[in-house]
Structure 1
Amino acid sequence: MIAGNLLAGLMPLAGDDEGFVPPGPDDFNLEPVGPYSEFEFLGETMYLGVTKPMIQIVLAAVIVFWFFRAASRHRAMVPGRLQFAGEGAYGFVRNSVGRDIIGSHDFMRFVPYLFALFFFILLNNLFGAIPFIQFPTFSRAGMVYGLAALSWIVYNAVGINKHGLVGYLKLQCVPAGITGPMLLLLVPLEAMSNLLVRPVTLALRLFANMLAGHLLLILFALGGEHLLLHGAMLVKPVGLLAWVLFIAISFLELLIQFLQAYVFVLLNAMYIQGALADEH
């Protein structure tokens, strides 16, 4: 009897034509904003136009530039609140990521890149929690692969510039201290791991966390709403619990958004350090 009531609460009621449609990856395929054109590609409808994530990418770049430009415009020995915040943010990336990972000899020339990358990713992640935006830009895979490709170019260019093409490939593909037939197995594995797989895993880590976290928030928000409005009386407390979990996960998601930006930049610093190292 109880199981029947629970099932009735989860299924659409008689007369409720819509029912509950669970969220899925299609919820992240946003239609373009403003004028656009449609075309068919491999049986799928494609759109040609400006989408919300594209706008967010540009908006994040403008906000990051504006904030740190404003924070550094009127520098003083005794910093104001804005300068203090800017210096603290800069010092965090400079010291905790750049100097500690790359090393005190080479780190300064990479700090601008790591600094801009961290706050650009962080703000785009936080867009998922900002009211009226509420969409993490990097839940779209194409956006993340662009960043990963840039990172791949940077750390490989750094290594080639220091060691030369042949020397860099040797450092990346030939493990130190290994000789003989084992090289036939290890060289392809090292080449694949260091040169091909790194940008893919770098992108997937950020993309998957942003997609899964936002999908979970949508599920608890819409599922809780459906149970409260359309569910049987017995399951309405479950809808309320879903809303409580939605709020709790929203705060957890803020931490994850920060950590994913930090991990992305930390791995970039590690890859740069590895490209500069004389041996692995």
Structure 2
Amino acid sequence: MFQLFRADEEGVPSDDRGLAYGDGLFETLRVSGDHAPLLNPHLDRLVRDAGRLGIPVPRGDLEKTCLQIMAREAGQYDGRPWVLKLILTRGGSGRGYQPEPGASPHLLVRHGPAPDAPPEGGVDIDFSPVPLTVNPVLAGIKSLNRLEQVMAAKAMPEGIFEVLMSNAEGQVVEGTRTNLFLATDDGWQTPPASTLAVCGVMRRHVLACLHNAGEPVVEAPVTLDQLGPDRCRGLYLTNSVLGVVPVRTLAGQALPVTRRLATIAFSSQVME
């Protein structure tokens, strides 16, 4: 089991390993009323990746807690979409990196209104000068250590919705808060999960929808030359809170904009 803390009622103890070392992970869910459409995939990922970190957490207890919180808090948003954030840490311990055996995990929950929807005509994005380093041991895990993303977001130019980050090989990997899908002459392309700092729940949902729709899709590295206006047939950003967001311009260059990927993603029955 875990110790539950509510951000609007009490803080976590000062010896929490999430605060001290980033020893934990988190999920951010979009909620409509008292229902989160992607609750199950979020909980599946949280339990799976917590297991990779050696943090034991019962899925049934997590689901029960989420359902109780959504039922309790839905009324204050008066039908508007809202966001539920789950922060799971290894728990508390003394000094030093070595975890104490048998520590009870901490679960901190917080919530707030969902951000405004991005413009339907697409968003303006750019490239980040901050490189993204992905440790293979931690690839895909939405851990509490997001300093590279923080520095990239901090340097984001005014009026830019998102910036894309590249790895040491020069491959475009993801945004600070989004995964990406590229429309090509041959179908759809998204960077491989093994190269990602965060393997998003919405990314997984969109992949499943593309497969269900019979759309050709590959997981392969995305290079800078593929994102030029002569080769790119559309660029889309995804995350669980924003959904599927078309890109209008990349580094000042106009790109084709359609709602095709969003239509495929949200007309499918894959969403739970």
Aligning the two structures, in what range does the TM-score lie when normalised by the shorter sequence?
Answer: under 0.3
- TM-score w.r.t. length of structure 2: 0.22
Structure having the higher helix fraction is 1
Q: Which has the larger radius of gyration?
A: 1
Q: Normalization by structure 1: what TM-score?
A: 0.21
